[in-house]
Amino acid sequence: MDIRITPTKLRGSVEAVSSKSAAHRIMIMAALCRQPTHLLLNSKNDDMVATGRCMAALGCGVEELEDGMLLTPGPVPVQSPTLLCGESGSTLRFLLPVAAALGCGGTFVGEGRLPQRTIAALVKELRSHGCTTNREDGLPITVGGRLCGGDFVLPGNVSSQFVTGLLMALPLLPQNSRLRLSSALQSSAYVDLTIHIMKKFGVTVEIAENGWDIPGNQTYTSPGTIAAEGDWSGAAFWLAAGALGGDILNTGLDMGSTQGDKAFVDLLAQMGCPCTTEKMGIRSAGNICKPITADISQVPDLAPMLALLCAAGGQQLHMTGGARLRDKESDRLAACAAAITALGGSVEEQADSLTVHPGSLRGGEADSFGDHRMAMALAIAACGCSGPVTIRGAQAVSKSYPHFWEEYRRLGGKFDVL
């Protein structure tokens, strides 16, 4: 689907969608319980569907409800299932060690760029702790054997999803384990979120120097009913719309959340457009007016919106710490540079950084590269363009925000489907 946007300012109130980061973790932990879990969601997306599909393939009952889903664990995991992960990196990287710990194995299949996204460091640790695989990296991959506890070492600068997968899996083993990092952890807030949700399921890990100690023989216990909190990653797009001359009240967000992407509020303040906290939510309104230097290593999902926001708002940005952006749904450094250039901006792409120069965007035609965050960032950037913007592959938003375009129109956005 291609969309042609006529630039306008967005105004109104929008409720945050359920966090897919939280939902992935809750669904997997619920399947590891002995009791049913009612997961409350106000929205679902393609990535959540992928995790639910894999839970069902492993033998967990997954019943769609009007307010979310009911997950009922099976008596034993299905042996050697085929796990269709779609384009969801979280689904793949979380479930690889979980399936290994359960001893059921399975064949993991992906779509889009997922087969090319690296899992080598995680696979290496699985293979050195009792598991077999038919390949060292990439998809499809078949895992066999049963994971054994012990000492695990992962790089912290490749994917925090590797860490989360092992943290969820290792408590299932009879042995105690240690997980250590060989380099500084990036996207650490996602690991904090994992540990926070694990506690709600009665499972704990102990923080240690350069990692964690994980007691074995733990049991996941259902909290009964649990809600996936509002998503700060999705809210960042609407916050940016408010900072491009709009006025958006974002509701349904937890200001005390462990989600790292709430840092977008601080980034807006640094650019001279502070948000205001109100009784009903958080409001962004005005225009960014200051240049910014930002290390994106802890919040890589904010990179597309930050880059396009600065380009559309005419402010200089020097964004560092972006090496991992090349292993996302698109090569996001290259995609951001291509999008800004296509819309008439000036940008320099480096190996792990991006520099956006002051100027204005005239509009034009840009590709989403099949990346949901690029499609949404381009839609918001259109609010600051002088002419129409055509987005190729606009349907990519369904990965995390299926009703994004309906919300965009409701807030005053003007577009035609081509």
216 phi, psi to nearest 5 deg: -85, -175
301 is catalytic: yes
Do 160 and 190 touch, CB atoms closer than 8 A?
yes
Average pLDDT over residues 209-235: 98
Backbone angles phi, psi at 362, to 5 degrees: -90, -15
Tell me, what CATH number does 161's domain have? 3.65.10.10
Q: How confident is the model at residue 179 (pLDDT cuts 50, 70, 90)?
A: very high
Residue 388 confidence class, pLDDT cut points 50, 70, 90: very high
Query: How many domains in the chain?
Result: 2
User: Which residue from 329, 283, 291 is spatially nearest to 309, judged by alpha carbons?
Assistant: 291
Specify the residue for token string 């225009």: 287
Dihedral sign, Cα of residue 263, residue 267, residue 273, residue 274: positive
Q: How far is it, in rounded angstroms, from Cα 237 to Cα 215?
A: 40
Quick: pLDDT tens for 86-134: 999 999 999 999 999 999 999 999 999 999 999 999 999 999 999 999 9
Torsion of CA 169, 174, 180, 186, to 10 degrees: 10
pLDDT for res 331: 97
Q: Which of the listed residues 206, 227, 248 is the one where a domain comes to its end?
A: 227
DSSP state of 182: S
Q: Cα(248)–Cα(276) distance, rounded to whole angstroms?
A: 11
pLDDT at 100: 98
CA 382 to CA 251: how far, in whole Å?
A: 23
E-strand ranges in 58-105 read 61-65, 68-72, 82-84
What's at 400, amino acid-wise?
Answer: S
Residue 277's DSSP bridge partners are: 282
**Selected catalytic residue, list 261, 301, 367, 371:** 301
Tell which of 205, 227, 249 closes a domain. 227
For residues 74 and 182, membership in a common domain is answered with yes
Q: Are residues 206 and 250 in the same domain?
A: no
Cα–Cα distance, 148 to 145 (Å, whole number): 9
| Per-residue confidence band for 238, with pLDDT thresholds at 50, 70 and 90 | very high
Tokens representing 19 are: 């966090």
Q: Are 103 and 81 in the same domain?
A: yes
Q: How far is the C-alpha of 18 from the C-alpha of 45, rounded, in Å?
A: 9
On whether both 10 and 47 belong to a single domain, the answer is no
**Residue 319: per-residue pLDDT:** 98
Question: Which residue matches tokens 């937890």?
Answer: 254
**pTM as predicted:** 0.96
Q: Can you give the pLDDT at residue 367?
A: 98
Considering the domain architecture, whether residues 181 and 235 belong to the same structural domain is answered as no
Can you give the pLDDT at residue 275? Answer: 97
β-pairing, 282-287 vs 276-277, is antiparallel
- Examine the domain organization and report whether 244 and 348 are in the same domain: yes
Burial class (CB in 10 A: 0-12, 13-18, 19+), 34: exposed
Distance CA 237, CA 61 (A): 34
CA distances (Å), origin 225, targets 16, 66, 71, 319: 20, 14, 10, 40
Q: Are residues 31 and 10 in the same domain?
A: no
Q: Give phi and psi for 62, each to the nearest 5.
A: -125, 105
Q: Map tokens 């005239």 to a residue.
A: 362
Identify whether residues 29 and 178 lie together within a single domain.
yes
Containing domain of residue 327, as a range?
3-17+230-417
Domain end, chosen from 198, 227, 256, is at: 227
Cα separation, 154 vs 138, whole angstroms: 17
Mean pLDDT score, 345-372: 97
Statement to judge: residues 100 and 239 lie in one domain: no
CA-to-CA distance for 131 and 14, rounded, in angstroms?
46
Exposure of 280 in the CB half-sphere (CA atoms within 13 A): 10
Tokens standing for residue 173: 């083993």
Please check whether residues 66 and 142 belong to one and the same domain.
Answer: yes
Pairing of strands 131-133, 141-145: antiparallel
Distance CA 147, CA 28 (A): 17
Residues 161 and 236 in one domain: no
In angstroms, the CA 242 to CA 12 distance is: 9
How distant, in Å, are the alpha carbons of 12, 236, 372, 378 from that of 15? 10, 12, 19, 21
Q: Percent of the chain, pLDDT > 70?
A: 100
Q: Are residues 292 and 173 in the same domain?
A: no
**Average of per-residue pLDDT values in the chain:** 97
| Average of per-residue pLDDT across 351-371 | 97
Band of residue 81 on the pLDDT scale cut at 50, 70, 90: very high
